[in-house]
Amino acid sequence: MRKLKLVPDDTNIRFIKMRFAALMLSSAAVLASILMVIVLGLNFGIDFRGGTMIEIGTEEPADIADLRNRLGGLGLGDVQIQEFGAPTDVLIRIETQPGGEEAQRGAIETVRAELGDDIEYRRVEVVGPTVSGELIEAGVLAIVLAVGMMLVYIWFRFEWQFSVGAVVALVHDVVITLGVFALLQLEFNLSIIAALLTIVGYSMNDTVVVYDRVREKLRKYKRMPLDELLDFAVNKTLSRTVMTSVTTLLALLSLYIFGGEVIRGFTFAMIWGIIIGTYSSIFVAAPLLLWLGVKRDWSGAAAGEPGQAAKSAN
């Protein structure tokens, strides 16, 4: 039985030749993402803005327009209503009310009085402005610390050029993901912070695999031109990268389609993160080594000839 191979063993794609096009594309995407975050802003959820979230269930498919008309006239400020998976599941978000916890409880009772007792109240969550501010700080700190610790790890594990390349690729992934959320105005909540941290881990793992193969080839082929060596190393990891990305995306697509509204934002962030993380490992992290220069005189390594690369196995 023949094994399934998405990438043939003799694949020889000249990725480094495309580095200038990739640089222009990535630079444009990062700048556009920063502008979108500044101009459009992120659509913060209750976790970060503060307010009240009420999940209700109805016996018949909910009339969203009627609910908006009824709750919008209660004087509670910004009230957002949307289906939450099934047509009988509805999520109601109410902005923070002035007056502290007593005012938040009053808003909940006002909604209950308007909707009556024929509706099932499944979940009620209240997040105050102080807590929401602390959550924003904690989320930002978690991402910054994750990226910082990755920089230190790669610095000790490899060399400073690898560390800089890996961190630039990580920041590239996070910034563009934030830009996509700002552009599409998808809700940004704590689950998205969890997705961003997962993206950081996945992207770093992918980059480390590529860098480890680059270091291996640097030891073996000391006289090979660096651009050829980087292409050689990336092509040797391509099968693993593609297989890992495809299988992960299949699972995430299933969750996105069938998992319901609760985890849709998280799975979307993960799907986008897998795509952009795979791209950055090949087109951002690897070419940066060429621009930064890497150590070629690894002690105890046997020199190889450039022509041997095409014949060498893995």
Q: Where are the domains of the chain?
A: 16-43+132-308, 51-127
pTM: 0.73
Q: Identify the pLDDT of residue 27.
A: 92
Question: 2.60.40.1250, 3.40.50.300, 1.20.1640.10, 3.20.20.120: which CATH number matches 16-43+132-308?
Answer: 1.20.1640.10
What is 51-127's CATH topology? Alpha-Beta Plaits (3.30.70)
In angstroms, rounded to a whole number, what is the distance separating the alpha carbons of residues 207 and 169? 8
Per-residue pLDDT 10s for the chain (314 aa) are 455 566 666 667 788 888 899 889 999 999 999 999 999 888 877 777 777 888 888 888 878 888 888 887 777 777 778 777 677 888 888 877 777 667 777 888 888 888 877 788 888 877 766 666 677 787 788 888 887 887 787 777 777 788 888 888 888 988 999 999 899 888 887 788 888 888 888 888 888 888 888 888 777 777 778 788 888 888 888 887 888 888 888 888 988 888 766 678 888 888 998 888 888 888 888 888 888 777 665 544 444 444 444 444 34
- The CA–CA distances, whole Å, from 151 to 98, 154, 155, 157, 279 equal 43, 5, 6, 10, 19
